[in-house]
Amino acid sequence: MLPIVSITLFLPLLGALLVMALRRSPASIAHLIGIVTSGLTLLGALWMWSRGVNETGFAQVEELAWMPAIGAAYRVGVDGISLPLVLLSAVLFFLSFIYSAKVKQRPHAYVVLMLLLETAAIGTFTALDAILFYVFFEVSLVSMYFMIAGWGHEDRQRAALMFFIYTLLGSLPLLLAILGMYLGSEPQTFDMRAWIDNPPLSGSAAMLALAAMLFTFAVKIPVFPFHTWLPAAHVQAPAAGSVILAGVMLKFGTYGLVRFSLQMTPEAFREAGIIVLAFGVVAALYGAFAALAQSDLKRMIALTSVNHMGYVVVGVAIAALAVDPAVRATALDGSVLQMVSHGLVTGALFLLVGMLQDRAHTREMDRFGGLLKVTPILGWSFVLAAFASLGLPGLAHFPAEFQIFLATLRVEPVAVVVILGIVVTAGLYLRAIGKVFLGEPREQWIGMKDLNAREVLSLAPLLILIVVVGIAPALLLDVIHKTTAALQF
Amino acid sequence: MAAELALLTPEITLLLTIVFALVAEMLRLPRIALGVALSGLLLASGLSLPLLGLDSSVFGGTYRIDGLSVWAKLILLPATALSILLARAELGGSDREGTVYVLLMLVTLGSLVLASAGDTMLLVLGVLLSGLGSFALVAYPRDDAATEAAMKFFVFASVTGAVMIFGLSYWFGGTGTTLLSDLSRLEDSRLIASVGLVAVIVGLGYKASLVPFHFWAPDAYQGAPVSIAAYMSVVPKIGAILALAQVVRDLPLGSDWPLLVAVISVLTMTYGYLAALVQGKVVRLLAYSSIAQAGYFLLAIVAVGTSPLATTSLIIFSAAYAVMNLGAFAVVMCIGRSLDDFAAAGRRNVAIGIAMVVFLLSLAGIPPLAGFVGKFLLFGAAMDAGFTWLAIVAILNSVLSLAVYLRIVVVMYRQADTQAAAAPVSLPLVNLVIVVAFAFTLGIGLAAQALLGPMG
């Protein structure tokens, strides 16, 4: 059988090498290679999707000996939790490449870094070996650091440095936890499947490992109060960088929360579940209120990510606390679907803000007005994406958040206060739409051009997917549920 | 006897190479000396390969042929060859060029003796052999800075060497022999064991530039030619660390020596990176970084005897450290010693920029580069030995180290606003070293099994 997971995983890396080899070629060639490679990667991901997942455990597993002396190997594969995220990454990268075709500044280096990032992202979601996971997890930091430092906005150097050091500080405890589980496993191995089937640590050792992992993922997700790197990095990153950062890289945290914390230290997670739940609730509410206080459009959207990822944390914590397997599956279904929805919706929003900034060179809401009349396509697209983000039924976030809240009501009804976050986000999006798009257009924006073909091409698929996931979530949930329903812990 | 000499072929080859190179230098044929040195080093490395997997010793247990000592040859001999290439690019054509090659190989021989020591007397011999050559190398430029650095180095070495010999006399008194393998007899005399160990740590610690015996290092690196600094930060240091591993291997368990080593490790890492954070010269920054890296080596020393990962991690990190550090110094040779020289260097020469970023990120321990694999195993070894707190400190220091190394990266990719800085010079030999170091820095992570396998 064709090793399609590995092919999908390393295609972007090959593309990056090709661009490096052709570094004297014109910019258009570099962008073309980027688009074609990420398009092929998307096809690979769709192929993986068509092969589907197993009832239990991982499907499409590919293995290769690497360091047998210490039980590390190249192991990749997918299940219902990782497969949707792989597909999401492939879609977002492909569209980001289309959107980025305008980058004139050092285009080769830009494409190389983006492709490297794509391999890192798909690798993080498909790795079944803890070392391999960590390698991809960290490589993404390096690429994103150079992305922000090289193509960001005004204050990019500081933001990039802060991002790199902060998230490295965040991810190193994971390394300790991985080592701890390695030393605790019998026979010693880095095989994540073995750790999931047979959690290697127990008692206080498991609790320590969980604490280390929770710290790592809390920084990555990010959960209040570990979120301070996020607004700076997002605001300074180039638009495509923001799309990837929010759409894909924040999912590393929530994915790790499920894959590592929940599946490898289930007992400890159940004990600490209520604390995690509290963090999730606080993060969701804090993110909403903090976003409400922003006047910078990009910063506002960045902070709504804290809100949406907070719901995911709530969902995972509820899954850990739930006794009834059906409720647990519902909570996890909602969490995984929320990750995908957030990727689509926030990706669209960041692209839109990027397009707006390309035209107006500002992100201050107060300086706009009446853009719906000047640039109707951009305006209506923003309205659709904003409505999706605030959880309107029929759009992508609704089925996910609904399931999370449903499970929360069954397990820990008090935590449903988190629903307040929706009211706040609704308020802030309506305010943003009112300020930027409604009313009479200001004179200075009268000549603003609406979206061109390239921009529509990069945006439309996201908007379509937002509606599709909203109307027919079963397309994704069937795959997700297969795995979540069978989880034993 | 013949069988014992057969086990020593790499060392004997190296010694003969030194003699031939010296003869060539005396005949004023530096190019021949260079050729002899390089081919001799490669031959000696090749002759070390069949020894892999052995665990024996020669000369009545005084000289060990085990995993550590054979891998020391396989790492230090090629590293010396790379250093000689760097020295050729920097000092080629100058007076006494051939002496540099001879001295470099002599110091390597001393380092190999250290790494293979099974006897306290060989320990002393190794320290002296590698020390004497080093003083001359540092003083090579014969200017004020170099002379002062060499003087400092010499005084430091004399004092620490004397302390070491004094302390070793306690061990001799306690066990009645100079063999390291008899140190287990000190089971009941804790005090004697500790006095001797402290003395050994002083003597070897200066060579490995452990805090607080590191004061000579930044000045010596700064005063010496860059190629010599590169060499000094790699070969004698690894030799001394491996010697420390050979010593503690035989110390009676149950004493507190791992704690002592752990404390020194914490001091070394933390001080090294904190000091590196404020340096304005890249050579000094790398000097402090190499001090800090010595602290990481100690994570494995702590675990010697308790964790099977100790030897593995020591060897892999030695190999990783050798290539990434030599690579970073080689880039300094191309660009310049000051941080200002690095301004926008990454934009002017893309290839060298990428190479430097890879070396620095590897030094910081970012996956999937060589430094990551090494540090990962070091952390594992320390945790396996019950020193989780030490691994945590090491990890926090890794964050600090990233801040240190990114200082160079940030400058390298700054907007080219001034034309003051000259374009990086391109030296064929240095480029060769960079390419080799780059390949290994990327490859050791993927091919770690090649290093792990033969050790079982």
pLDDT digits (tens, 9 = 90+) for A93-152: 999 999 988 888 888 889 999 999 999 999 999 999 999 999 999 899 889 998 888 888
Contact state of A172 with B395 under an 8 Å Cβ cutoff:
yes
Say yes or no to pLDDT of B419 above 70: no
Q: Is B312 on the interface with A (CB under 8 A)?
A: yes
Question: Residue ranges of the domains in chain A?
Answer: 265-489
Looking at B195, B222, B251, the residue that finishes a domain is: B251
Domain shared by B189 and B288, yes or no = no
- Alpha carbon distances (Å) from A323 to A270, A411, B133, B209: 10, 8, 71, 57
Exposure pattern of A441-465 as b/e (b: 16+ CB <10 Å)?
beeebeeeeebeeebbebbebbbeb
**What's the pLDDT score for residue A177?**
93
Cβ distance of A69 and B367 shorter than 8 Å:
no
Determine the residue type at A348: A
pLDDT of B449 strictly over 80:
no
How far off is chain A from B406, nearest CA to CA, in Å? 8
Q: How far is A150 from chain B (nearest CA, A)?
A: 8
- Which of B372, B384, B410 faces A161 most closely, judged by CB atoms? B410
Per the structure, the count of domains in chain B is 2
Picking from B362, B388, B401, B438 by the largest number of A CB atoms within 10 A of its own CB, the best residue to mutate is: B388
Model pLDDT, residue B120: 92
* Chain A interface includes B308 (CB < 8 A): no
Question: Residue B353 region, left (φ>0) first, then alpha (ψ -120 to 50), else beta?
Answer: alpha
CB A290 within 8 A of CB A335: no
Q: Does A21 touch chain B (CB under 8 A)?
A: no
Q: How confident is the model at residue B244 (pLDDT cuts 50, 70, 90)?
A: very high
* Better-predicted residue by pLDDT, B83 or A56: B83
Q: What pLDDT, on a 0 to 100 scale, did the predictor assign at position B426?
A: 67
Same domain as B429, residue B364: yes
pLDDT for position B453? 60
Q: How far apart are CA A452 and CA A102, in angstroms?
A: 12
Give the per-residue pLDDT at B444. Answer: 87
Helices H / strands E in chain A, number of each = 21, 2
CA atoms within 13 A on the CB side of B71: 26
**Contact yes or no for A216/A173 (Cβ under 8 A):** yes
Provide the 3-class DSSP secondary structure of residue B367.
coil
- Look at B379 and A179 and tell me if their CB atoms are within 8 Å: yes
The residue from B251, B270, B300 where one domain ends is B251
User: So what's the ipTM on this one?
Assistant: 0.84
Residue of A108, A119, A135 to mutate, interface with B, max B Cβ within 10 Å: A135
B450 at the A interface (CB within 8 A)? Answer: no
**A142/B366 Cβ within 8 A:** yes
Cα–Cα distance between A355 and B273 in angstroms, integer?
Answer: 43
Q: Are B315 and B388 part of one and the same domain?
A: yes
A135 has a chain B CB within 8 A of its CB: yes
Among A200, A188, A191, residue whose Cα is nearest residue A74: A191
With contacts defined as CB-CB under 8 Å, which chain A residues touch B448? 66-67
Mind listing the pLDDT tens digit for each residue in B106-158?
Answer: 999 999 999 999 999 999 999 999 999 999 999 988 888 889 989 989 999 99
- Averaged pLDDT for residues B372-378: 91
Residues of B with Cβ-Cβ distance to A135 under 8 angstroms = 367-368, 372, 445
**Whose structure tokens read 């979530």?**
A473
The answer to whether residues A293 and A307 touch, using CB atoms and an 8 Å cutoff, is no
Q: Do B440 and B332 share a structural domain?
A: yes
pLDDT in tens, B99-108: 999 999 999 9
Q: In angstroms, rounded to a whole number, what is the distance separating the alpha carbons of residues A206 and A180?
A: 9
- d(CA A168, nearest CA chain B) in Å: 7
| Residue B46, number of CB atoms within 10 A of its CB | 14
pLDDT at B450 over 80: no
Low-confidence ranges of chain A (pLDDT < 70): 489
Q: In this complex, is the C-beta atom of B378 within 8 Å of any C-beta atom belonging to chain A?
A: no
Average pLDDT over every residue of B161-168: 93
CA–CA separation, A192 and A329 (whole Å): 21
* Structural domain span for residue B393: 256-456
Q: Are residues B234 and B262 in the same domain?
A: no
Of B398, B449, B453, the CB nearest to A172: B398
Question: Rounded to the nearest 5 degrees, what angle is found at the Cα of B437, between the Cα atoms of B432 and B443?
Answer: 125
Q: Is the pLDDT of residue B165 over 90?
A: yes
Q: Comparing C-alpha atoms, which of B262, B294, B261 is closest to residue B276?
A: B294
The closest alpha carbon to B136, from B107, B159, B161, B156, belongs to: B107
Q: Which of B201, B218, B251 is the last residue of a domain?
A: B251
pLDDT at B421 over 60: no
Q: Which residues of B touch A149 (CB under 8 A)?
A: 410, 413
Confidence (pLDDT) at A319: 92
Q: How many CB atoms lie within 10 A of CB B75?
A: 27
Mutate to test the interface with B, among A20, A167, A176, A181 (most CBs of B within 10 A): A176
Backbone angles phi, psi at B119, to 5 degrees: -150, 145
Percent of chain B whose predicted confidence (pLDDT) is above 90: 58
Q: Which residues of B touch A120 (CB under 8 A)?
A: none
Band of residue B254 on the pLDDT scale cut at 50, 70, 90: low
Percent of chain B residues topping a pLDDT of 70: 95
Q: Which residues pair with B204 in a beta bridge?
A: none
Residue of B313, B379, B402 to mutate, testing the A interface (most A Cβ within 10 Å of its Cβ)? B402
For residue B384, list chain A residues with Cβ-Cβ distance below 8 A.
183
Does B392 contact chain A (CB < 8 Å)? yes
Whether the per-residue pLDDT at B455 is higher than 50: the answer is no
CA distance A450 to B183: 82
Does one domain contain both B42 and B69? yes
Whether B456 shows a pLDDT value over 60: the answer reads no
Q: Is B173 on the interface with A (CB under 8 A)?
A: no
> Look-up: residue for tokens 């990032």?
A117
Please report the number of interchain residue pairs, chain A to chain B, with beta-carbon separation below 8 angstroms.
Answer: 79
Are A436 and A348 contacting, i.e. CB atoms less than 8 angstroms apart? no
* pLDDT of B422: 60
A133 touches chain B (CB under 8 A): no
Q: Between residues A89 and B411, which one has the greater pLDDT?
A: A89
